[in-house]
Amino acid sequence: MKKAARLVSTFLLLLTLCSSIAFAQETPSIALPSDVALPSEPETTSEVPAELEGVEAEQGEHTEQVELQEIEAAEAAAETEADEEALQEEEPQSLQEGRTTEKPASEDADEGNTPDQGVSLEPQADQVPTVRYRSHVQTIGWQDWSSDGEATGTFGRSLRLESFRIELRDAQGKQIKGISYRTHVQTIGWQDWVSDGALAGTERRSLRAEAIRIKLSDELAKSYDVWYQAHVQTFGWLGWAKNGEPCGSAGVSRRVEALCVTILPKGSPAPEQTDVEPFVDGTAYIALDGHVQRIGWKSGKGTVGTVGQSLRMEAIKAKLAGGNHAGDVCYSAHVQGIGWQDEASNGGLAGTSGQSKRVEAMTMRLSGEAADYYDVWYRMHVQRFGWLDWAKNGEKAGTAGYSLRCESIETKVLPKGMEPEGVGTAQYGCFVDKADEPVVTEGQSLADANAAQQRLVQSSYSTPSAPAGYCAQWVEDVYANAGFGRFYGDARDLYHEYCFSADLADLKVGMIVSVSTHPHTTAGSIWGHVGIYVGDGTVRDSVYGYVRTSTLEEWMNYYGASVPVKWGWIGNVSVA
């Protein structure tokens, strides 16, 4: 009985302790005033068994974890609610601006076009859509979006635009479909049409965009016109184009540097009135056929003939090709023993065939609508003179009175006001007529030479020849033997360093006469040839191991096949 009573007492004690623990966990703590004294706990000598201590500790830890999770969940819910409220406050402003938040522009990565979800397929007919566009600029990368007539690109920095993206937005800022565009790219030409924010142009290829076309969809085009204007290298702002017309340039190697785009109600005038054309078309050219001595007919796009082969041009046929404007090319030839022929056109023959007569000069002009938009430029490569300057629109090009052959012709068709590279830099004009020149048929006469010049002439007769191929050595020996010092270099060196003029009025007794190259020998093509002018229209030189005397005209006609014959003083020290 005692043993059973002790077991019952122990069971009741355990039950009491468990109830106390549960009550302590469920009862909230109550804050009491600081002046209220808490009753002291009754002292007890009872100890809680070790088994119950483990249970109590586990329950305490579990309670703390539950409370922590509830606190974290409440904080997360509060943050979510705050974010949603902030987003609701910002959204109207974003829609009003018509654009999403942009990342900073980057050269290395294109953000791409990220239209709103659910792009509208049908624009609202009663509201003019907003056009947005951006460009990829050399060394800068993608610029931020511009819109409704704002400029994208740069000014005054000589930077090319390389690609574009263009899109439409409605009044609520949502992207709508309906705009297409294409670019004319360096070395590529016109690319295919792309639409609604897709990339037009190139990236990471360093190619300039040269022109652009932009158009609206058929549905939008019933109500609106899209206008656009390009800022082009050397031309500045061109005129406004619209609805798929080309804007920029082609065939003249000019970069687009900036662009403006806007959309206006159908039939509205251009945003700005200007007389400047929106497109500079340089794609027109002259298709040439030339009949060359010993070769026969050759064809070329803009150029035909030979240089450095001493072959005469005997006939030319020409046609206008390419471009956007109708017309023809008319041309005439000045022929050996005949003079100026009647004008030919549209592939007709100018010159002769089968008569072995040289063409000596040409004229060329455009007719029809093409003459209102283009200038035709042309220049001749002439025996002894080399390339003459550029002529245009019916001016004479070549020579008359010299009995010199034209060897090649080069032509360019350019927009009105443009000039080919090198205009005005040639040593001679576009047409050299002997009748127009002062009566100077040769250089200084021997009788007019001073004592120093006479000494050079005497040395040219007393100095022995140089070995074959050493013409320059003989000239240098003549100067040294006449007491003017020793100079070194081959004929090519002497030509470039000391020969400054091809004007007969400048030719003095004792000057060297030289070319840097000629086509008659292998050595001559590399090192040229040189002699000494000894007065009265004669030249002495050393060839093939002996010294000879030639007339100046013979010498120039023979050796001047590739480059103009020039003269000057060795060492640039005037003896006269």
Residue 131, classed as helix, strand or coil, is strand
Choice among 2-16, 55-69, 168-182 with the minimum mean pLDDT: 55-69
Per-residue confidence (pLDDT) for residue 285, from 0 to 100? 94
Residue-wise pLDDT tens digits, 80-110: 444 444 434 433 333 233 333 333 344 444 5
Q: Would you say residue 448 has pLDDT above 50?
A: yes
The separation between CA 327 and the C-alpha centre of its own chain, rounded to angstroms, equals 29
Q: How many angstroms separate the CA atoms of 118 and 107, rounded?
A: 29
Same domain, 273 and 290: no
Choice among 66-80, 264-278, 483-497 with the minimum mean pLDDT: 66-80
- The encoded tokens of residue 110 equal 């294109």
Same domain, 238 and 180: yes
Per-residue confidence (pLDDT) for residue 221, from 0 to 100? 96
Q: What integer best gives the mean pLDDT of the chain?
A: 83
| Amino acid in position 38 | L
Q: Is residue 116 a part of any domain in this protein?
A: no
Once rounded to an integer, what is the mean pLDDT over residues 48-75?
46
Residue 274, classed as helix, strand or coil, is coil
Residue-wise pLDDT tens digits, 105-138: 444 445 444 444 445 554 555 688 999 999 999 9
Once rounded to an integer, what is the mean pLDDT over residues 240-263?
96
Same domain, 275 and 135: yes
Same domain, 242 and 317: no
203 burial type by CB count under 10 A (0-12 exposed, 13-18 middle, 19+ buried)? middle
Evaluate if pTM is beyond 0.75.
no
Same domain, 425 and 457: no
The residue among 380, 404, 436 that closes a domain is: 436
Q: Is residue 112 a part of any domain in this protein?
A: no
Q: How many angstroms separate the CA atoms of 163 and 346, rounded?
A: 40
The residue among 280, 296, 324 that closes a domain is: 280
Same domain, 273 and 313: no
Same domain, 355 and 456: no
Phi first, then psi: give them for residue 31, nearest 5 degrees.
Answer: -80, 125
Beta pairing class for 141-142 and 151-153:
unpaired
Residue-wise pLDDT tens digits, 146-164: 999 999 999 999 999 999 9
Q: Give the CATH number, domain containing residue 470.
A: 3.90.1720.10
The separation between CA 50 and the C-alpha centre of its own chain, rounded to angstroms, equals 90
- The encoded tokens of residue 438 equal 């002062």
Rg (CA), the chain: 46
Q: Tell me how far CA of residue 353 lies from CA of 293, 397, 520, in angstroms.
A: 10, 21, 26
- The encoded tokens of residue 366 equal 């455009």
Give residue 212's domain range: 130-280
Mark out the alpha helices in 340-402 (DSSP H runs).
370-373
Where does the pLDDT of residue 561 fall: very low under 50, low under 70, confident under 90, or very high at 90 and above? confident
Residue-wise pLDDT tens digits, 258-300: 999 999 999 999 999 988 999 988 889 999 999 999 999 999 9
The residue among 436, 470, 490 that closes a domain is: 436
Same domain, 450 and 359: no
